Amino acid sequence: MGFAVDVATGDDGRVVVLPRGELDMATQDELRAALVRAAAESALVVLDLGELRFVDTSGLRLILETAEASRRDGFAFAVLPGAPAVQRLFEVAGVTELVPFEDRT
């Protein structure tokens, strides 16, 4: 399975960005482009990590940069957690508090 990014706009206007596969140096630009487009379209961007199998430090950096951009540029940004292996990267890096994680409901 390769990498893909699905983007969907909800009835409430939020844009959900759903990457699938492995987020790494080779795929981060595709996700970055989707996040930039989503932020231009909506006041609320949700990044759903649920379909990722792996995230490396370049993917982590992209997520942290997007969280910072949301504070700076005035759009809301939320992250839905991924599988335990994905979440472990945030914990090991000590950045869990810097990422606006939301519970899945």
Taking the C-alpha atoms of residue 8 and residue 26, their distance in angstroms, rounded to an integer, is 23
Contact 82, 55 (CB under 8 A): yes
Task: Report the CATH number that the domain containing residue 23 is assigned in CATH.
Answer: 3.30.750.24
Torsion sign over Cα 33, 35, 36, 38: positive
Confidence of residue 11 (pLDDT cuts 50, 70, 90): confident
Contact 48, 15 (CB under 8 A): no
Residue 5 lies in a domain: no
Residue 92: domain span: 14-98
Check: pTM over 0.85? Answer yes or no.
Answer: yes
**pLDDT at 79 > cutoff 70:** yes
Kindly report the length of the chain: 105
Q: Quick one: pLDDT at residue 1? A: 62
Residue 75 lies in a domain: yes
Residue 81 lies in a domain: yes
Other C-beta atoms lying within 10 Å of the C-beta of residue 10: 11
pLDDT in tens, 56-65: 999 999 999 9
